[in-house]
Amino acid sequence: MILLLGVALSVVFSIFFYCQAMSSGLGVKRWATAGLMFGPFVWPMFCMKKRLKTYQRFGFDCLLFSA
């Protein structure tokens, strides 16, 4: 029962990171696989990568409002 729950949660996090990576313009397969393997522990690394991608596009001194 616990193993089935673990597999189901892994699939859910894989789908979650797939959608987030697609909407952020990051590598979809990479983040879906990371979500499948590590689950919610990937979230801080995903946020950092997303922020760095924004800084690379617009620069560090650009002000962005995200709604």
Average pLDDT over residues 45-60: 87
C-alpha 7/C-alpha 30 separation (Å) is: 19
Full-model pTM: 0.79
Q: What are φ and ψ of residue 26, in 5° steps?
A: -105, 175
**Tokens (6 digits) for 23:** 């909407």
- 4-46 pLDDT, tens digit per residue, is 999 999 999 999 999 999 999 899 999 999 999 998 999 999 9
**Tokens (6 digits) for 60:** 């560090």
- Determine the pLDDT at residue 61: 73
- The CA radius of gyration of the chain, in Å to the nearest whole number, is 14
pLDDT-derived band of residue 64, with 50, 70 and 90 as boundaries?
A: low
